[in-house]
Structure 1
């Protein structure tokens, strides 16, 4: 076997090509193993994350529905209710300066109320998301410990 690799039978350039080929294959093999390991970790994390989402699916839907209702209520107030109140004030022949003051107070009060509702909703949603993310992080940590 040693005779095959003597200087007389194989040129230096061929030896270098063979070395380069072996090094590339070794590096690719190591990189492929590392990549497979990382992909397994990512797959396990995503699988566990999806199972957590399934577990909290109803809570996620509920929070989404509440946020959608709040957005609709806000839009309806500014597109319909405010116009109706303004028209009613005009029909009642309320002085324009007083009507403007009442409308401003109504908008301020209603906006404040919606903002409080939105804050409570966001706080509840964020608490739920925080719990979900913590569970996901715990799962990720346990998967990485196994690898």
Structure 2
């Protein structure tokens, strides 16, 4: 606590305590100073906790408001994974069997299957990148909104602390 406040407390205690009483003015002043310091610290902590609570509450509200977009991005990512698995488990096998049944020369069939795998993999990879970028943009947007709200809360708390 600053020395001006400490001196003020000591002067107030000295002026209110009768010198004939067995009360140690310095001890009483220190006790008052300690209690005041604890109250100020508690008020400051309470204010910071309120800002943090409101920030977290707002963050959850933002996530709720973007719930559909989050579900959409998650569903697309899941669909891409399923599509990739299906391609390698079923589609590629069917294409290979069709080429074999059509009696396409094995080197031609192999080359064609290789190009099919590369093309399809690139397409799925591009889709994954696009949805990942969209997801990251959405997370960034949520964080920016939450940060802006937190700054507003901190300003309000700061101004309330000045009063």
Q: Which bracket does the TM-score occupy, shorter chain normalised? A: 0.7 to 0.9
1:143 aligns with 2:162: no
The equivalent of 1:126 in structure 2 is 136
Query: Aligned in 2, Cα 1:82/1:23: closer, same or farther, shift over 3 Å?
Result: farther
Per-residue CA deviations over 1:116-137 (Å, capped at 9, x if unaligned) read 2222222322222222221111
Q: TM-score, normalised by structure 1?
A: 0.74
* CA drift at 1:3: 3.3
SS at match of 2:78: helix
Pick from 63, 71, 75 the counterpart of residue 53 of structure 1: 63
Unaligned runs of 5+ in 2: 1-16, 158-163
1:3 aligns with 2:22: yes
Q: Distance in 1 between matches of 2:134 and 2:44?
A: 41
The equivalent of 2:93 in structure 1 is 83
Q: Distance in 1 between matches of 2:122 and 2:98?
A: 23
Pick from 82, 92, 106 the counterpart of residue 72 of structure 1: 82
Q: TM-score, normalised by structure 2?
A: 0.68
Q: Distance in 1 between matches of 2:36 and 2:87?
A: 68
Q: Distance in 1 between matches of 2:111 and 2:32?
A: 84
SS at match of 1:3: coil
Query: Aligned in 2, Cα 1:95/1:28: closer, same or farther, shift over 3 Å?
Result: farther
* CA drift at 1:23: 9.4
Aligned-residue CA RMSD (Å): 2.7
Query: Aligned in 2, Cα 1:94/1:145: closer, same or farther, shift over 3 Å?
Result: same
SS at match of 1:45: helix
Query: Aligned in 2, Cα 1:43/1:93: closer, same or farther, shift over 3 Å?
Result: same
The equivalent of 1:110 in structure 2 is 120
Per-residue CA deviations over 1:41-72 (Å, capped at 9, x if unaligned) read 21100111111111111111111111111111
* CA drift at 1:138: 0.6
Number of aligned positions between the proteins: 135
Alignment of structure 1 residues 22-37 onto 2, 5 Å: 32-37=42-47
